Amino acid sequence: MDLARRDVAVAGTMLGGNSDWAYTIAYNAMLQAGRALMFSKGYRPSGANQHIAVVRFVELFLDPEVVIAFDRMRRKRHITVYDMAGIVSEQEAENAVARAEGFLDLIEGLLASG
């Protein structure tokens, strides 16, 4: 979770500068939190499609709306990293950082409750 908290803080500092990277780093914070949940349950993603594996795993613990947003961010992050720059608006980046902060809070709550 330390990595996730680091990433969400960095994503916040990127707002107003580079929306694509703020969005990408916010997603990465969520990915790290999802991985922390997996690790806490004795699982690790392996092989190809590890990001999808993390999304599918958190699906077992979180509300569907949260998981849908996480998966949409995963797909958009893929486009911004590998295909096309400049597709994330400032508002979208701000929403991503806020969503990541909430996601981390949810995961930390699950980790605290065992």
Q: For the domain that residue 12 is a member of, what is the CATH number?
A: 1.20.120.330
| CA atoms of 73 and 68, how far apart (whole Å) | 9
| CA atoms of 89 and 5, how far apart (whole Å) | 23
Q: How many CB atoms lie within 10 A of CB 35?
A: 23
What is the domain range of residue 41? 2-113
Query: Helical H runs in 1-114?
Result: 2-14, 19-40, 50-58, 64-82, 90-113
Q: Total structural domains in the chain? A: 1
Whole-number pLDDT of residue 107: 98
Residue 46 gets the label, from left (phi > 0), alpha (psi -120 to 50) or beta, of beta
Whole-number pLDDT of residue 47: 86
Which residue numbers in the chain have pLDDT < 70? none
Task: State both tokens at 18.
Answer: 């580079």
Largest interatomic CA distance in the chain? 40
Whole-number pLDDT of residue 46: 87
Task: State both tokens at 101.
Answer: 């902060």
Task: State both tokens at 75.
Answer: 């797909």
Is-contact 43 57, C-beta < 8 A?
A: yes
Whole-number pLDDT of residue 59: 97
